[in-house]
Amino acid sequence: MAERRGGRIGGAWAVALGLLAAVALAAEAAAQRSTDPAALCAAFSIPPELGLVCEPAGGETVGVVIRPAEGGFGTLSRLTLRRLDRAAPADALAWSDPAAWLERQMTLDTAGFAAALRRLVDDPDSPLAGETVRAAVETLLGAVDRLGKLALAACENPQLRPDGRHVMSCRFTAGGFGLLLELQLLGGGDERWALALRTMNEQRLRHFRALAGAFRP
């Protein structure tokens, strides 16, 4: 009897250890998927007709960038995804106060945007060439720079959507041009992910929103 009981106990321990090992392997596989750019890009299922490409974010950032494959204005449109780091002071607020984190993040680094837009204006073959358009572009860039410093001048209040995402949108126009921005914060388990949408085109914004809405950690 004792031997049979000992055998049952030993078998139960073996099953328990097997389950723990399986859980550990699954967690390790999930962690690898969440840091692999190819897996992250595959999670978006981008329709070919949208003309978008997905590529690693570069540097030490865990994430990817989705952008138009070609076209002069492609450099102005971006959907970026990055996994937040709870140990990083700049990201920790995303766990404790998502709305405050969104407001803090919605400050624009306009250097790349400004350079790309000015290149389009300076291109002699660009439909944006000309002093009138140049003046309008400078008006927009000046306004965007002020928005970056004053942060929330053209932004909606952060919202918690039914799907659990915290979202903040900004829409700014000046000189006949517009800049559309949206930042989304979502979680999966103890992970937090940020999706940043930036474009000057309403249709492209709808594309980015559809892709962002389909992403799940």
CB 134 within 8 A of CB 173: no
Q: Where are the alpha helices (DSSP H) in 43-130?
A: 89-96, 98-105, 111-122
For the chain, give the longest Cα–Cα distance. Answer: 96
CATH (one of 1.10.1200, 3.40.1000, 3.40.50, 1.10.3470) for 36-214: 3.40.1000
Question: For residue 19, what are the CA distances in angstroms to 12, 33, 41, 142?
Answer: 11, 21, 31, 59
- Position 195 scores a pLDDT of 96
**Domains of the chain by residue range:** 1-35, 36-214
Confidence bin at 56 (pLDDT 50/70/90): very high
Helix/strand number for the chain, H first, E second: 7, 7
pTM of the shown model: 0.74
- Residue with more model confidence, 136 or 126: 136
How many residues in the chain? 217
Tens digits of residue pLDDT in 3-50: 555 555 555 544 444 433 333 333 343 444 467 999 999 999 899 999
Percent of the chain with pLDDT over 90: 37
Average pLDDT over residues 133-157: 71
Q: Where are the alpha helices (DSSP H) in the chain?
A: 2-35, 37-42, 89-96, 98-105, 111-122, 131-150, 202-214
Tens digits of residue pLDDT in 199-212: 988 999 999 999 99
Picking from 111, 106, 182, the residue whose alpha carbon sits closest to that of residue 145 is 111
Q: Two tokens at 53?
A: 């490409």
Confidence bin at 99 (pLDDT 50/70/90): very high
φ, ψ at 181 (rounded to 5°): -135, 145
- Position 200 scores a pLDDT of 86
Q: Two tokens at 89?
A: 């002071």
